Structure 1
Amino acid sequence: MSIRRWNIGEGLENWVRKRYIVLLDELGDEKFTAEKAEAILRSRGLEIENINKLISVLRKKGLLRAEPDPNDARKAIYSFIFPSKLESAGTPGKDEILRLLKKCADLIRTAVDYKVLLLFLFYKAVSDKWEKIKENYEKEGHSEEEAFLLTNSEYIELYDENEKKLYTWNEVMKTENIGEIGNAIKKISSMNENLDRLEKLAEVLGFFGFISDENRHIIGKIIQEFNSYDFSDVSYDVLGDAYQWILSYFAPEKAKEGETYTPREVIKLLVNLLDVEDGSKVLDPACGSAAMLIEAYNHVKEKNGGKEVSVELVGQERNEIMAIIARMNAILHGVENCRIEIGDSLLNPKFDEADYVIANPPWNQDGYDEEDLGTCPIKQAYNTFVSGGYPPESSADWAWIQLMLYHARKKVGIVLDQGALFRKGKEAEIRKGFVEKDLIEAVILLPEKLFYNVTASGIIMILNRNKPEDRRGKILFINASNEYVPHPSVRRLNTLSRENIEKIVDAYRRFADIEGFSRVVDKSEIAANDYNLNVTLYVMLNEEKEEIDIFREFQELKELEKERQDVMMRVEQYIMEIARAG
């Protein structure tokens, strides 16, 4: 049975469907008699008392056509009807892909982890692009085997040279065993070094258990949806957007389970603030799905007029599942120079210096005090800017700041909880050292309700070891708490519009005072405030002033006083009448 035909039998009773699939697989486009169909079913142990009853059901469902037997007018010749949808597939646009994913999300919502959609999208998209590249090599005169090997080298490996076996989506869909989808994922994982944990991802997500006869009807519908489209000519930007959509679509409900997701608008703001240049190396030590790294790449590409750029991306992620998702994300975005490491960056970073370091690390992460950081291989990172700069056990925020700046040649952009700006104790000592050494360039207060897992406002801190002369000894504070619009799809959340982002970025680049929005503060004033970096301490929002018409207000007051006197007179009259009656 061809996997791509599973969905054809949807809606049939089980006894009909089983026999239909066997006959379809055995006969394909071939014309046949009732007797031949009966013999095939008998050979497969699926004999039936009345073959004509089966034929009648299939004809009513529009799956079988009949024509007179030229050799015997009393009999009929049959052939299967294939849905035209399987014959060709079009190139989808962004909206079509999102509709496809929403349909599939509804299908799997309660059956398996939503991230299995990442595997389906990834597998289908890279397979279609692989086949397109292979076809181009064949058009150039290469043999099929040469085209396979050249495509492996140029893109990713989907052809096993030793087994002489192809593992593309379309090839696997020709097989009889439903488990071949899972086997293909395992094989792709073993053949590609940068996808070596793909099998682990599929295992953790429950993908292999999901690919079973029990879920055949769901899988058939998912395959039917994906088979509707050819992804070979879909741009990497559109595929990347679809990939990010899968992660963001479930973010509100997954936030309740502890998953974190940085809204794309916050990432855009942070990347625009850093303004990465072509030829740069960008590092994210808490990279998650690599969204920040990819946005940095896209930012440079856009500045370069869409032309290819030379940007090196490096990320590290403690969660190995997110690390493989990050690698898949980079591939779907067409980003080649992207390396994702797995491990705890605070204790064992597997990266060296970069021009720009960017991250939204876990806020208030506990378990990283002097006992841990003072004995790790990278302990110098926590002693370079402040001697003994170990944070309290309750929050690693300032450990992340130090680690990132230690590895930055130019600038650092980090998203944090507000508490990092004003908490006392050990964090206050580290904060003082950073202010005195003039390492902080800007602090931006974000609006509340931007993040799925916290309602409080976050902050962005920009650090720079080599400030321009006119910015030395100063820190720019931006109060952007009112720069938001309602989220388009999650009622309880806010988001940043393009205008909001542009206003914040413009204020940062101008490094100027804007009443009620931004203020350049000398570090002596910050020292006088005991090195408290709370943005509202330096920039208060402009309150809307209500204009008061004194004359009108006075007239209204006089009228109220007259009304009061009238009421008092009536009350006095009532009391007098009651007294007389008594």
Structure 2
Amino acid sequence: MDSTHRALSDGGSNALVDVFEDCIDEMKDDDGIDKTEYREFLLPLIFYKAANDTYRDEYEDAVTDFGEEIANEDPAFYRLQIPDGYLWEDLLATNKRVDETLNQALEEFEELNQDLGLSFEVDYLSFETDESTLKTLLQELDAVNISVENVDYNAVSDAYMALIRRFAKEEDRDAGEFYQPEEVIEMVVRMLSPFENGDSFYDPTTGSGDMLVGVASHYRDEGKEPNKLTFVGQESIKGMTEAANLNFFLNDIEAEIEAADPLDDPMRTSGGSLREFDYVLTNFPYSEDWNKSALKDDTRFGYVDKDPRKNRADYAYILHMFSSLNETGQLATLAPQGVLFRDGESPFREFLINEDLVEAVINLPKKLFGEDTGIAPTILFLNKDKPEKRDKEVLFLNTAHEDFYRELDNENQLTPEGVDRAVEIFNEWESEERKSRVVDVEEIEETDYNLNLALYVDTTEPEEDLDTVAEAQQLAKLETELSEIRDRMKHDLRELYGEGVNQYE
């Protein structure tokens, strides 16, 4: 089988973006589909198209290598099985009851591939949509080959994440629930690396899966096989497991994604103990309610003699993730800046500092997600196996400094140079004026365990040195010019009104 991955012959990511946008436009023209349902309606079709394209390419390879008879009989040639009578061309040829046909195709597709845990929650019969809409969507998607045997991973990822961003906008959801800026993911992944075969990664609020895909892409770019790593995730937002599974499939990554709330239903081993991982990375939903009363005796939250507030689950998520680390595990999570300094949460920070678990606090620029929420998120790094040179120290890094990002029309963006410099500061453990500082934990203890970066890194703009001689000379020049202007005004007024002009001075 040909293992070469070529860029899409019809224009790469731009062609895919155009097709996905055309699909959105088609759904917008159908009153039977609400904009909050675009994701539910379209993603199963894209997944099924990608599965069909991949199956077709794998079949052609198998026929070339082993002949048609063996290719038809041996399922080992294929990542996914396609049900008889429901190939993509069969769907395209369907002119009546297209909605019912699609439901049946997806149902049999799930059954054939049940070992992968696929589950499509869509019911096309439940939509009061024109049959022509489904036909048009099938035809639009037929314009591109999105086989994982035939795409450039970066191209298809760019197009897919553009679609996810569009879904977030249409549903008026917090962008961070669906995706993270790719520059932030790259920075976090590079700071956590290097990785090695057998390492395990867990994202308890997976969203579209972009954090875990970022790890896999980094590993692949190093010339290594990402499927020698273990990827595990959970997601409680309805339908988002489909988005994650499609992202993994398009990037040819094996992952275990579970539709569940990580606080109420954490991942456990067959023996019932909490599963542990080498790395945990995520962007959890900020300041949400959680089931505090039902979980008050849960050992995940027993490190401190209090529980997080019922209407603010931030530290419930952080403690859950910490509990999911193995004995040498590392954690990186985006979080609201309030977790760094809110008074009522000081005991949680005290625990983390006293156990020397906090490795770094990184402030991000505002508007990375395209909207100005007033306060930018922070990134909190915890490490249960900090290098000896970092013992009893915490790095504070201010990537909101102008050297790390650029301002675009509607958002800010970390620059490639900014990411490189941030990773260098983290790896070299450097202090740099207005950008970063390595702080002893004793200093943090003196602030009652306040981790607000502004306490440790002076982020204010430096005042310019004042040249008093030059300023005095400029002032004298201005006063001379002002006097000359007044003299001209007096002259002009006398010309107009005569010598009795003093009353106008």
**Do they fold alike, i.e. is TM over 0.5?**
yes
- Whether 1:469 aligns to 2:391 is no
Amino acid at match of 2:471: E
Q: Do residues 192 (structure 1) and 113 (structure 2) align?
A: yes
The change in CA–CA distance for 1:382 and 1:408 in structure 2 (over 3 A counts) is same
Q: CA offset at residue 309 of structure 1?
A: 4.9
1:555 is the counterpart of 2:487? no
Partner of residue 181 from structure 1, selected from 76, 80, 102: 102
Q: Distance in 2 between matches of 1:502 and 1:129?
A: 36
Flag the 1:176–1:548 CA change in 2: closer, same or farther, 3 A: same
Residue pair 2:363, 2:379 contacting (<8 A) in 1 also: yes
Deviation of 1:195 (Å): 6.2
Kindly state the Cα deviation for residue 257 of structure 1 after the two structures are TM-superposed. Answer: 7.1
Contact 1:441 1:467 in 2 (8 A): yes
Which structure would you say has the larger Rg?
A: 1
Q: 1:266 to 1:290 in 2, by over 3 A?
A: same
Q: Deviations over 1:548-581 (max 9, x none)?
A: 443332122223444666788888999x947999
Question: Could you tell which deviates more after superposition, 458-467 or 555-564?
Answer: 555-564
Whether contact under 8 Å (1:273, 1:505) holds in the other structure is yes
Question: Aligned to 1:478, what secondary structure does the other structure show?
Answer: strand
**Closer/same/farther in 2, CA of residues 457 and 329 from structure 1, 3 Å limit:** same
Paired residue type of 1:394: N
Q: Which residue of 2 aligns with 1:224?
A: 139
Q: Which residue of 2 aligns with 1:390?
A: 307
Give yes or no for the alignment of 1:254 onto 2:254: no
Which amino acid is 1:135 matched to? E
State the secondary structure of the residue aligned to 2:359: strand
| Residue identity matched to 1:374 | K
Give the aligned partner of residue 154 of structure 1: 78
Kindly state the Cα deviation for residue 236 of structure 1 after the two structures are TM-superposed: 5.9
Task: Give 1:266's aligned residue.
Answer: 184
Deviation string 1:135-174 (CA, Å, 9 cap, x unpaired) is 3333344555x53453477311213xxxxx2422123323
CA 1:561–1:350 in structure 2 vs 1: closer, same or farther (change >3 Å)? same
Which residue of 1 is the match for residue 289 of structure 2? 366
Distance 2:310 2:349 in 1: 16
Find the partner of 1:121 among 46, 64, 76: 46
**CA contact 2:282–2:332 (8 Å) conserved in 1:** yes
In structure 1, C-alpha distance between the alignment counterparts of 2:286 and 2:52, rounded to whole Å: 38
Structure 2, unaligned runs of 5 or more: 1-7, 269-274
C-alpha distance in 1 between matches for 2:241 and 2:349: 31
Tell me which amino acid in the other structure corresponds to 2:103: G
Taking structure 1 as reference, are residues 564 and 234 closer, same or farther at Cα in structure 2, changes over 3 Å only?
same
**SS of match in other structure, 1:316:** strand
For the Cα contact (< 8 Å) 2:430–2:437, is it kept in 1? yes
For 1:97, the equivalent position in structure 2 comes to 16
1:211-264: CA deviation from partner (whole Å, max 9, x where unpaired):
95x241x44433333333333442261333332221023434434578543222
Q: Residue 232 of structure 2 aligns to a residue in which SS?
A: strand
SS in 1 for 2:397: strand
> Do the aligned partners of 1:515 and 1:542 also contact (CA within 8 Å) in 2?
no
SS in 2 for 1:357: strand
326, 332, 343: which is aligned to 1:413?
332
Deviation at 1:506? 0.9
- State the match for 1:497 in structure 2: 415
Cα distance in structure 1, aligned partners of 2:428 and 2:109 = 50
| Counterpart among 212, 227, 240 of residue 322 in structure 1 | 240
Rate the CA distance shift 1:131–1:311 in 2: closer, same or farther, 3 A: same
Task: Answer yes or no: is the 8 Å Cα contact 1:190–1:196 preserved in 2.
Answer: no
Aligned match for 1:525, one of 443, 450, 458? 443
In structure 1, stretches of 5+ residues that fail to align are: 1-88, 160-164
Which residue of 262, 265, 274 corresponds with 1:348? 265
Distance 1:499 1:368 in 2: 43
Task: Check 1:173–1:149 CA distance in 2 against 1; reply closer, same or farther (3 A cut).
Answer: farther
Judged with a 3 Å threshold, the aligned counterparts in structure 2 of structure 1 residues 343 and 563 are, in CA distance, closer, same or farther, namely same
Amino acid at match of 2:341: F
When residues 141 and 477 of structure 1 are mapped into structure 2, their CA distance, relative to the original with a 3 A threshold, is closer
Distance 1:197 1:502 in 2: 38
Match of 2:355 among 437, 440, 455: 437
AA of the residue aligned to 1:546: E
- Do the aligned partners of 1:286 and 1:317 also contact (CA within 8 Å) in 2? yes
CA contact (8 A) 2:179 2:210 kept: no
More RCO (CA 8 Å, sep 6+): 2
TM-score w.r.t. length of structure 2? 0.84
String of CA shifts for 1:418-451, please: whole Å, max 9, x gaps.
01100011x1111111111111000000001112
- 8 A Cα contact 2:314 2:339, kept in partner: yes
Q: Could you tell me how far apart the structure 2 residues matched to 1:346 and 1:276 are?
A: 29
SS in 1 for 2:457: coil
Partner residue, 1:485: 406
Partner in structure 2 of residue 339 of structure 1: 256
Residue aligned with 1:199, SS: coil
Q: Secondary structure of 1:495's partner?
A: strand
Structure 1 residues 276 and 452 mapped into 2: Cα distance closer, same or farther (>3 Å)? farther
Whether the 8 Å contact between 1:195 and 1:324 is mirrored in structure 2 is no
Q: 1:276 to 1:407 in 2, by over 3 A?
A: farther
Distance 1:155 1:394, change over 3 A: same
Structure 1 counterpart of 2:212, from 286, 293, 301: 293
SS in 1 for 2:234: strand
C-alpha distance 559-119 of structure 1, shift in aligned 2 (>3 A): same
- C-alpha displacement at 1:103, in angstroms? 2.3
Contact preservation (8 Å) 1:188, 1:195: no
Q: Secondary structure at the match of 2:294?
A: helix
In the alignment, the residues of structure 1 paired with residue 323 and residue 472 of structure 2 have an alpha-carbon distance, to the nearest angstrom, of: 65
Separation of aligned partners in 2, 1:485 and 1:345: 35
SS in 2 for 1:269: helix
Residues 131/368 of structure 1: CA separation in 2 closer, same or farther (3 Å cut): same
Question: C-alpha offsets along residues 167-196 of structure 1, whole Å, 9 cap, x if unaligned?
Answer: 221233233432323321222123322665
**Structure 2 residue corresponding to 1:423, chosen from 342, 346, 351:** 342
**What TM-score comes out, normalization by structure 1 length?**
0.73
Pick closer, same or farther for the CA change 1:565–1:365 going to 2, 3 Å: same
For 1:140 and 1:567, how far apart are their aligned partners in 2? 93
The offset of 1:208, in angstroms, is: 4.1
In structure 2, C-alpha distance between the alignment counterparts of 1:358 and 1:562, rounded to whole Å: 65
TM-superposed deviation, 1:268: 1.7
